[in-house]
């Protein structure tokens, strides 16, 4: 049976980003169908689809929508295109190849939830993708798909692009709202959740780009069909972004419960130079690392949770057996130290401490007891902060120390990095990158 | 407090009038995206326009953005200093930013970074002696599948090799 492709089936086709191309492939048919249905019918289909948020938390999308209070207007939709978690690079391709699919998904979401204004918050570094989306929006307005009467129906909708300016934390939903309100991206204390008190204090749905891009297919084919593509309480396909030491890094659309080892060893053509897998981070840099022995596992949210890690944003980072795990952690820890917004003391102070200690160990200056100290630091950050960045910084440290402790200890006892001038940078430059199943 | 006089809401009046007009013209359509009583939402877009027109976000430019958005220069400064893409100090004519995060490092970014620093004669975040290029490392650019990646004046360049990176910086005038 050939695999069903929802998001990537037209990636790489000429002019796929244009309205004409999208319409010729049946695009906006789901919107026509959806507008003829009562909004509650769309919410019901999304609930039945078992679509879970693709941004990282994996929360049930249909359920999230029902949290909007019944009687407060206006309501807003903000689409999270602040793709910044290391290892994650899928939303940008949706915008590049299928911006109208995203627009159609937004329109359906807004119709389903009585929303008339949507913002797409896109990270500032995605300048090209922001231009592509703006061009697609202009086409949609011109064609009467957006504006005072969506497809001629008595339903007004405006979609605006809002570019960020370089802050990982703005991918956190409440920080995103602060940023969209023109402030620095400090996460808000929750509750209240954005569904109740969101943008400008009004009820707000925040969904990831990939989540929203699935909505047209769900409306067209029905929630049950989407649910059937997945397993248990996780419906559909999802985009897995594979990077690191694989022969064909890239974006792969697979059923949500696809096997991680198969993805790496078969779809991605195995490891560069025929080396062995040493470690895999399955869901973006914050998700706990897996050893080579642990990767024969389903990528589904609950399955990876049971395996002690997270499906997160679908960013699979593969490291071969020449990788120094202390150095890998050092680089990841630097990221969280750089990107801590500084609002909460454990995160602001703790993340640079962790980074400094990992760096010290990596360079042969660690002391006996430092590994325990590192684990203790991580324990004092995780769960102690307003948002999840503290947890995101702590989880890699905890898992690297747990799974590769001997490597940390060796750095300390040998007073040097045992990998010397290790494999960083030895990746074969001719690797193929694959986008949506095609060579890019 | 240093430069406290420049933080006055009226500091923008020292800016060249012609460029202030251009600022207003570019900002006007963006303001329509936000509710009339929420103009401050346009702070990031306003600062971006200001930086492009005036070179960097001086206190005067921040005051201009604040004035047009009905808020205080302090609020503009808070935003300008929070987001890494903004420059509150003069920079080179071009900005080259190389990602050295995990995906790019696994693909060789560290060596390219060291080599480019040597070639340009700068430290991380430094500007070449001829003011041509400001060079720095940045966090994940969302291009891990086509790593290593680099931003050149906000345009993404992927699958960087040392040769490619060197050619790019040589061609920037």
Give the closest residue to B95 by CA, choosing from B124, B65, B53: B124
Q: Does B79 touch chain A (CB under 8 A)?
A: yes
Per-domain residue ranges of chain B: 11-82, 94-172
User: A401-418, pLDDT tens digit by residue?
Assistant: 999 999 999 999 999 999
Q: Does domain B11-82 have CATH number 1.10.10.1590?
A: yes
Predicted local confidence at residue A85, as pLDDT: 96
Give the list of residues 6+ apart from residue A229 with CB closer than 8 angstroms, or none.
A4, A6, A235, A236, A237, A255, A256
Query: Which residues of B are annotated binding-site positions for [2Fe-2S] cluster?
Result: 99, 104, 140, 144
Residue A81: strand, helix, or coil? strand
CB pairs under 8 A between A and B: 171
Give the C-alpha separation, A310 to B126, whole Å.
38
Give the model confidence (pLDDT) of B77-130 as tens digits.
999 999 999 999 999 999 999 999 999 999 999 999 999 999 999 999 999 999
3-state secondary structure (DSSP) of residue A347: helix
Return the SS3 of B29: helix
Of A288, A242, A301, which is closest to residue A57 (Cα–Cα)? A301
Give which of B47, B48, B65, B144 to mutate to test A binding, by max A Cβ within 10 Å.
Answer: B144
For residue A123, list chain B residues with Cβ-Cβ distance below 8 A: 142
B161 token code pair? 């090799």
Residue in chain B closest to A161 (alpha carbons) equals B33
> Complex ipTM, two decimals?
0.96
pLDDT of residue B77: 96
The minimum CA-CA distance between A416 and chain B, rounded to whole Å, is 19
Which chain B positions have a beta carbon within 8 Å of A319's beta carbon? 106
Are the Cβ atoms of B44 and A124 closer than 8 angstroms?
yes
Give the H/E segment covering residue A119. Answer: strand A117-122
Topology, domain B94-172: Glutaredoxin (3.40.30)
Query: For an interface test with B, which of A425, A430, A440 has the most B Cβ atoms less than 10 Å from its Cβ?
Result: A425
Contacts for A27 with CB less than 8 Å, ≥ 6 apart: A19, A100, A101, A104, A216
Nearby residues of A326 by Cβ (< 8 Å), 6 or more positions away? A358, A361, A362, A400, A404, A407, A408, A411, A417
Mean pLDDT across the stretch B53-74? 96
Determine phi and psi for A212, rounding to 5 degrees: -65, -35
Cβ contacts (< 8 Å) between B147 and chain A: which residues? 243, 249
Q: Identify the pLDDT of residue A2.
A: 65
Apex A334 CA angle, A333 and A337, nearest 5? 85
Q: Delineate the domains of chain A, giving CATH numbers in brackets.
A: 19-229 (3.40.50.11540), 237-320 (3.10.20.600), 325-414 (1.20.1440.230)
* In contact, A289 and A249? CB cutoff 8 Å: no
Alpha helices in A66-192 (DSSP H): 91-97, 99-113, 127-142, 173-180
**Cα dihedral A17, A20, A25, A31 sign:** positive
CB–CB of A331 and B147 under 8 A?
no
C-alpha distance from B98 to closest chain A C-alpha (Å): 12
CA–CA distance, B74 with A251 (Å, rounded to integer):
42
Predicted local confidence at residue A426, as pLDDT = 57
Q: What ranges make up the beta strands (E) of chain B?
A: 94-99, 133-138, 150-152, 155-157
What pLDDT is stored for residue A24 in this prediction? 97
Give the separation between CA A62 and CA A323, rounded to whole angstroms: 41
- CA geometry: angle at B148 spanning A290 and A293, to 5°? 15
Q: Is the pLDDT of residue B1 over 50?
A: no
Q: What is the pLDDT along chain A (440 residues), one digit of tens a residue?
A: 468 999 999 999 999 999 999 999 999 999 999 999 999 999 999 999 999 999 988 999 999 999 999 999 999 999 999 999 999 999 999 999 999 999 999 999 999 999 999 999 999 999 999 999 999 999 999 999 999 999 999 999 999 999 999 999 999 999 999 999 999 999 999 999 999 999 999 999 999 999 999 999 999 999 999 999 999 999 999 999 999 999 999 999 999 999 999 999 999 999 999 999 999 999 999 999 999 999 999 999 999 999 999 999 999 999 999 999 999 999 999 999 999 999 999 999 999 999 999 999 999 999 999 999 999 999 999 899 999 999 999 999 999 999 999 999 999 999 999 987 655 655 556 677 888 777 66
Chain A contact for B88 (CB, 8 A cutoff)? no
Model pLDDT, residue A1: 47
Contacts of A243 in chain B (CB under 8 A): 103, 106-107, 144-145, 147
CB A126 within 8 A of CB B140: no
pLDDT at res. A422: 55
Q: What is the pLDDT, as a whole number, of residue A425? A: 57
CB contact under 8 A, A427 and B144: no
pLDDT of residue A421: 62
Whether residue B84 and residue A184 make contact (CB cut-off 8 A), yes or no, is no
User: What are the φ/ψ torsions at residue A439 (nearest 5 degrees)?
Assistant: -65, 130
**Spatial separation of the C-alpha atoms in residues B117 and B125, rounded to whole Å:** 10
Whole-angstrom distance between the N-terminal and C-terminal Cα of chain A?
A: 25
> Whose CA is closest to A172, among A69, A282, A84?
A84
Cα(A413)–Cα(A371) distance, integer angstroms: 12
Q: Which of A163, A213, A178 is nearest to B49 (CA)?
A: A163
pLDDT band at B25 (very low <50, low <70, confident <90, very high): very high
Q: What pLDDT does B6 receive?
A: 58
Do the chains contact at A425 and B108, CB–CB below 8 Å?
Answer: yes
**Contact status of B108 with chain A (Cβ, < 8 Å):** yes
Q: What are phi and psi of A406, to 5 degrees?
A: -60, -35
For the sheet with A277-281, list strands across it. Answer: A290-291, A277-281, A315-320, A237-244, A250-255, A434-435, A438-439
What pLDDT, on the 0 to 100 scale, is given for residue A51?
97
């Amino acid at each position: 049976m050939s695999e069903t492709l929802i998001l990537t089936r037209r990636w790489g086709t000429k002019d796929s980003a244009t309205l004409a191309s999208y319409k010729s492939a049946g695009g906006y048919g789901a919107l026509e169908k959806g507008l003829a249905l009562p909004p509650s019918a769309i919410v019901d289909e999304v609930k039945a689809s078992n679509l879970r948020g693709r941004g990282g938390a994996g929360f049930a999308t249909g359920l999230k929508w029902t949290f909007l209070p019944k009687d407060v207007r206006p309501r807003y939709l903000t689409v999270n295109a602040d793709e910044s978690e290391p290892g994650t690079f899928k939303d940008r391709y949706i915008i590049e190849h299928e911006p109208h699919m995203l627009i159609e998904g937004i329109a359906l979401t807004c119709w389903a939830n009585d929303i008339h204004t949507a913002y797409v918050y896109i990270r500032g570094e995605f300048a090209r993708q922001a231009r592509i989306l703006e061009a697609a929006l202009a086409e949609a307005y011109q064609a009467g798909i957006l504006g005072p009467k969506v497809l001629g129906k008595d339903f007004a909708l405006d979609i605006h692009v809002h570019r960020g300016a370089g802050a990982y934390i703005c991918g956190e939903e409440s920080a995103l709202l602060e940023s969209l309100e023109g402030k620095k991206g400090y996460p808000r204390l929750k509750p209240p959740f954005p569904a109740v008190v969101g943008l400008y204090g009004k009820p707000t749905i925040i969904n990831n780009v990939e989540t929203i891009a699935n909505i047209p297919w769900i409306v067209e084919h029905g929630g049950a069909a989407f649910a059937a593509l997945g397993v248990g309480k996780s419906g559909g396909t999802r985009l897995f972004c594979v990077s690191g030491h694989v022969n064909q890094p890239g974006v792969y659309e697979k059923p949500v419960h696809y096997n991680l080892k198969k993805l790496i060893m078969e779809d991605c053509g195995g490891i560069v130079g025929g080396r062995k897998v040493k470690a895999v981070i399955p869901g973006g840099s914050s998700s706990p690392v897996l050893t080579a022995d642990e990767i024969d596992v389903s990528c589904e949210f609950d399955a990876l949770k049971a395996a002690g890690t997270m499906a997160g944003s679908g960013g699979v980072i593969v490291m071969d057996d020449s990788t120094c795990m202390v150095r890998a952690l050092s680089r990841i820890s630097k990221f969280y130290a750089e990107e801590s917004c500084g609002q909460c003391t454990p995160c602001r102070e703790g993340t640079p401490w962790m980074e400094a200690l990992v760096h010290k160990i990596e360079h042969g200056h660690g002391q006996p007891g430092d590994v325990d100290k590192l684990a203790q630091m991580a324990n004092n950050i995780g769960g102690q902060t307003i948002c999840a960045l503290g947890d995101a910084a702590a989880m890699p440290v905890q898992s690297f120390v747990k799974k590769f402790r001997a490597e940390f200890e060796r750095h300390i006892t040998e007073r040097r990095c045992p990998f010397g001038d290790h494999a960083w940078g030895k990746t074969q430059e001719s690797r193929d990158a694959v986008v949506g199943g095609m060579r890019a | 407090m240093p430069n406290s006089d420049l933080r006055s809401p009226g500091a923008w009046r020292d800016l060249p009038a012609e460029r202030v007009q251009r600022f207003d013209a570019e900002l006007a359509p963006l303001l329509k995206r936000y509710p009339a009583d929420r103009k401050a939402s346009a702070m990031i877009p306003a600062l971006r326009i200001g930086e492009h027109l005036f070179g960097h976000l001086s206190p005067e430019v921040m005051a201009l953005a604040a004035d047009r958005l009905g808020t205080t220069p302090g609020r503009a400064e808070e935003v300008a200093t929070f987001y890494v893409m903004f420059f509150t100090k003069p920079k080179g004519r071009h900005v080259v930013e190389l990602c050295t995060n995990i995906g790019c490092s696994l693909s060789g970014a560290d060596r390219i970074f060291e080599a480019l620093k040597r070639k340009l004669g700068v430290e991380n975040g430094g500007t070449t002696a001829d003011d041509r290029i400001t060079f720095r490392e940045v966090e994940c650019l969302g291009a891990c599948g086509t790593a290593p990646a680099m931003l050149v004046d906000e345009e993404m360049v992927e699958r960087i090799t040392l040769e490619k990176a060197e050619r790019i910086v040589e061609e920037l005038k």
